[in-house]
């Protein structure tokens, strides 16, 4: 990577970390009992990195953020790993949709569904391993609790990409480009 590219990556990773440290990353939560699902502003710099420099840059910036979360995040290592999988699946969903030559709106829908499916898979593992009591409280049985949790997780992830991450990253990037010209 060129020096300018590395500096840009460091800047975006630092912004993601500052957002996390400042508490902005946990400002908007789903209501209880799903308040562990957070609309995280720290994902926006990662998407900006992807939109500006591509897949490698997006993954690089998120990896730096992930390493920081492993030092200072919530529910280590599960919380940071779940966040990493969510953000990386969003980037890969966007990247794959570009390769499929989809239009912008369809790309974002594709990426949001891709992320939601990946996160449902990982949530099955985490919920059944660590949170059986939670699942039993959500529904009248383990299966019903898991089904409700997965439905909420799916909807949350679609909304997170479609109406939160992508539009905010796009608006910020448009402002940056307008300012530069």
CATH number at residue 126: 1.10.1760.20
Cβ–Cβ under 8 Å, residues 33 and 136? no
- The span from the CA of 98 to the CA of 100, in Å, is 5
Provide the token pair at 171. 């608006």
Domain ranges, residue 66: 3-180
User: Digits of tens for pLDDT over the chain (181 positions)?
Assistant: 689 999 999 999 999 999 999 998 888 999 999 999 999 999 999 999 999 999 999 999 999 999 999 999 889 999 999 999 999 999 999 999 999 999 999 999 999 999 999 999 999 999 999 999 999 999 999 999 999 999 999 999 999 999 999 999 999 999 998 888 7
Provide the token pair at 80. 């940071």
C-beta neighbour count of 136 within 10 angstroms: 14
Give me the residues paired with residue 38 across strands. Answer: 29
Q: How many domains does the chain have?
A: 1
* DSSP 8-state secondary structure symbol assigned to residue 164: I
């Amino acid at each position: 990577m060129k020096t300018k590219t590395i500096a840009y990556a460091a800047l975006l990773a630092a912004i993601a970390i500052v957002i996390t440290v400042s508490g902005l990353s946990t400002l908007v939560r789903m209501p209880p009992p799903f308040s562990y699902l957070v609309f995280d502003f720290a994902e926006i710099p990662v998407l900006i990195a992807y939109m500006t420099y591509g897949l490698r840059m997006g993954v690089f910036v998120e990896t730096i953020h992930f390493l920081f979360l492993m030092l200072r995040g919530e529910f280590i290592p599960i919380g940071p790993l779940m966040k990493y999988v969510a953000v990386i699946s969003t980037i890969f969903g966007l990247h794959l949709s570009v390769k499929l030559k989809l239009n912008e709106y369809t790309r974002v829908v594709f990426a949001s569904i891709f992320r939601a499916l990946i996160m449902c898979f990982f949530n099955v593992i985490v919920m059944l391993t660590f949170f059986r009591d939670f699942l039993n409280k959500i529904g009248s049985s383990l299966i019903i609790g898991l089904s409700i949790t997965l439905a909420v997780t799916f909807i949350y992830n679609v909304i997170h990409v479609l109406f939160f991450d992508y539009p905010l990253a796009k608006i910020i990037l448009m402002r940056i480009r307008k300012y530069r010209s």
